[in-house]
Structure 1
Amino acid sequence: MTCRRMPRSSTSRLAGIVSAVAMMTFVAGGATASAAPTPVPRLDLDRYLGTWHQLAAIPQYFNLVCARDTQANYSRDPQGNIAVRNSCTTWANTPNDITGTATSNDPETGAQLHVSFPGVPTQDRLNGPTNYIVTALGPEYSWALVTDPSGLSGFVLARAVALDNADWQQVRASIVAAGQNPCLYLTSPVTGGESAIVPLCIR
């Protein structure tokens, strides 16, 4: 996401939540993957296209500006790559978006990609190392778990604005299987879905 200044009260509130998550992670014994997460056996990229709602994520500097309704939209571009458009509503109740390109780095599974955003430091090259791995998929591509080789990022994406308890149980199990700690993931407010920001391990 593009970066804009957040209201101080919102920044303080979110910083407090992130600090609490870090403390829970320390108490739980750490949370980073020791090896690169394993991609799903096969990702049908054309089936993966379309709009995804972010329902939870490990906080990243580039999306702290987002207050709610964070989405990712994927489509084919004229070169055959994936056009990426990320959008959200900010704490100031304004729209925010950024566009980029995803290229496949894994012809065997199709589930490891390099996503680039022009003008964003370390992410402005069209081709580069893998920084987007789809590690789990729900039935009929209803949800997806995405991380990177370091396991330091994580996103729970879904076609719908909400998941039921059985789906959330599968998501948490998939996070653990990827070598991550569900306590690092914070729920993302979505209109018509979750309204609170809480660690996924206590949701």
Structure 2
Amino acid sequence: MTKENLPKSGYTLAKIAVGGAILIGLGAATMAYAQSKPLKVVDKVELDKYLGVWYEVARKPMSFQNKCDRDVTATYTLNENGNVQVDNRCVQKNGQTAQSVGEAFVQNAPFNSKLKVSFLPEAIRWIPAGRGDYWILKIDDHYQTVLVGEPRRNYMWVLSRTPHPDQTVINEYLEYAKSVGYDLNDLIHTKQTAK
């Protein structure tokens, strides 16, 4: 059927469909390009400024957090061997608090922006197997908001020093995550009940 033979509404719908297909194709191509580029980390992280309590604001789904319902936090402290102790906590759907304690090992000192985290029992944590990537992708100068991810872009967290951060700031971090190739269609916005 030619343009002349189509009813006016049919011709308009055809244009919308073609335009939509082009936009979807461009979006997919942009995402594929962003995902094929190496994931950049921040230039440098001052570990002493990074330590302390962070509240999870948003994340991509991760199996070990499946039971977490709300109030997800991560607390980082230096341990005696100079590595970072990781203390993750959340409140589950049944109201119980779940805790997972691990250790983070800096991979690119003195820049400290690439770490590997192990949640193996403490006695065997020195074994490199089973360590997950923890890359710091974006952080503000005052260490109030951070975007953490890993090179395959399967996992990602936005953390804040406050349980209820400015949504404009969070949107900026999420937009940055999209710009470096993260698919946020399955993003989970974390419920925080702390004041």
> Is the TM value for this pair above 0.5?
yes
Determine which of 100, 115, 118 is the counterpart of 1:116: 118
Q: Distance in 2 between matches of 1:148 and 1:118?
A: 19
Aligned mate of 1:181, from 180, 183, 192: 183
Report the identity percentage: 24
| Structure 1 position 139, deviation (Å) | 4.2
The gaps in structure 1 that reach 5 residues or longer are 1-27, 194-203
**What SS class does the counterpart of residue 93 from structure 1 fall into?**
coil
Give the distance between the partners of 2:76 and 2:149, measured in 1 at CA.
Answer: 17
Distance 1:130 1:37 in 2: 16
Cα deviation for residue 41 of structure 1 reads 0.8
Where does structure 2 lack aligned partners over 5 or more consecutive residues?
1-26
1:190 counterpart letter in structure 2: Q
> After the TM superposition, which residues 1-203 of structure 1 pair with which residues of structure 2 at under 5 Å, given as runs?
29=28, 33-118=35-120, 126-127=127-128, 131-192=133-194
2:71/2:194 contact within 8 Å kept: no
Q: 1:36 and 1:107 mapped to 2: Cα distance?
A: 19
What are the superposed Cα offsets for residues 35-89 of structure 1, whole Å, 9 maximum, x if unpaired?
4421101111111000001110001111011000011000000000000110000
Task: Say which is worse superposed, 130-139 or 99-108, in terms of deviation.
Answer: 130-139
Q: Distance in 2 between matches of 1:124 and 1:33?
A: 31
> TM-score, normalized by length of structure 2?
0.76
Q: Give 1:131 deviation, angstroms.
A: 0.5
Aligned pairs, how many? Answer: 165
1:192 Cα shift? 4.3
Q: If the length of structure 1 is used for normalisation, what is the TM-score?
A: 0.73
- RMSD between aligned residues: 2.6
